[in-house]
């Protein structure tokens, strides 16, 4: 029975951050196990040991219903059960993504292998290389480009492949937000339960989280109740100190779980932003040309533009060049006469 749960947890832990690992450890080792072992022994006999000083029938039961609408142990068991549901949803999404990646990879590899065999045999276009098959191959190749395969060491020290996809990242963030909402909701429910038992208010009030040894039952103030004869019935709670310690322990674990989930989302969003920046920087470096090409092109342009710019900026040099050209032309036009001594 525990083997499927272990496979689901292992699949979720592959995609988890360090804060996600810490949250999972708190959930299973510091919340589930204490609730099923210690909490059950502390809170199971609470109704039997709840005693009220009233001789009216069913008055004790009515006072206990007002004191504890739901047992702490059942509330925490319900919280663990509800918290596991998002884990199952994420495991289902990750399984679907892995299956699609495996399907696309198998089709692309088989198509390329068949194409290489057909080209090696120098065959003409066959049914394998038809337009329909090429269209499906192009679609599978395009969808496969959205997947990212990474390797990561698991808890046993072995390397395993992790397939990332935008759907996995979005679902991870969404499910983490759902878990944060659940943690907040159950902390608030525990606060309401403690307000019922202590008749105090204020989340940061110390008296709210301390289960009282004596409880003043005022059910008799309402009409048609079992305690209508007594408006103020004193009731006594068994092992109040044990219950106080366990409630304080559980609220600390709940606050730590809430903080780990917040840090987990912040860490995932930061990592996604960093990867996007790196991809943008790589694209920019690929688009910008090399420095050597820039220098050669700039130097060649300067060399071409320098004579014209000098001639235009210095009219004397222009006149001098023209005069030298005229002299050379006159020399070419004059005939060569040998020197004869007289």
Q: Which of 12-26, 160-174, 312-326 has the lowest mean pLDDT?
A: 312-326
pTM score, two decimals?
Answer: 0.74
Q: How far apart are CA 132 and CA 125, in angstroms?
A: 13
Q: Which residues contact 186 (CB under 8 A, 6 or more apart)?
A: 75, 79, 82, 254
Please enumerate, as own/partner, the contacts of 242-246 that have beta carbons within 8 Å and a separation of 24 or more: 242/42, 243/42, 243/43, 243/72, 243/211, 244/209, 244/210, 244/211, 246/34, 246/38, 246/39, 246/42, 246/72
pLDDT tens digits for range 84-123: 899 889 989 988 988 888 888 888 888 888 777 765 554 4
- Structural domains for the chain: 18-101+165-286 (1.20.1440.80)
- What would the mean pLDDT of 278-300 be, rounded to a whole number? 62
């Amino acid at each position: 029975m525990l083997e499927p749960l272990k496979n689901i947890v292992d699949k979720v832990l592959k995609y988890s951050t360090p804060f996600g690992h810490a949250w999972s450890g708190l959930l299973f080792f510091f919340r589930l196990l204490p609730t099923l072992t210690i909490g059950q022994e502390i809170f199971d006999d609470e109704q039997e040991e709840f005693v009220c000083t009233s001789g009216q029938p069913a008055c004790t039961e009515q006072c206990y219903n007002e004191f504890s609408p739901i047992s702490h142990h059942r509330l925490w068991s319900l919280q663990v059960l509800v918290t596991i549901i998002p884990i199952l949803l994420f495991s289902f999404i990750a399984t679907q993504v892995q299956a699609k990646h495996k399907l696309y990879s198998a089709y692309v590899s088989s198509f390329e292998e068949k194409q290489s065999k057909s080209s090696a045999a120098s065959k003409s276009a066959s049914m394998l290389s038809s337009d329909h098959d090429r269209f499906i191959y192009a679609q599978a190749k395009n969808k496969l480009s959205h997947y990212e395969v990474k390797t990561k060491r698991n808890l046993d020290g072995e390397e395993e492949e992790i397939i990332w996809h935008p759907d996995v990242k979005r679902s991870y963030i969404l499910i983490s937000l759902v878990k944060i909402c659940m943690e907040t909701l159950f902390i608030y429910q525990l606060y309401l339960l403690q307000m019922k038992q202590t008749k105090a208010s204020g989340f940061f009030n110390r008296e709210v989280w301390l289960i009282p040894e004596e409880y003043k039952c005022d059910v008799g103030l309402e009409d048609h109740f079992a305690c209508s004869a007594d408006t103020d019935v004193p009731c006594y709670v068994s092992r109040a100190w044990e219950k106080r310690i366990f409630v304080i322990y559980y609220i600390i674990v709940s606050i730590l779980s809430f903080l780990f989930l917040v840090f987990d989302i912040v860490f995932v969003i930061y990592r996604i932003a960093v990867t996007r920046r790196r991809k943008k920087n790589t694209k920019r470096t690929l688009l910008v040309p090399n420095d050597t090409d820039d220098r050669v092109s700039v130097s060649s342009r300067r060399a071409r533009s320098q004579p014209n710019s000098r001639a235009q900026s210095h009219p004397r040099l222009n006149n001098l060049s023209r005069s030298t050209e005229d002299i050379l032309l006159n020399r070419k036009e004059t005939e060569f006469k040998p020197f004869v001594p007289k």
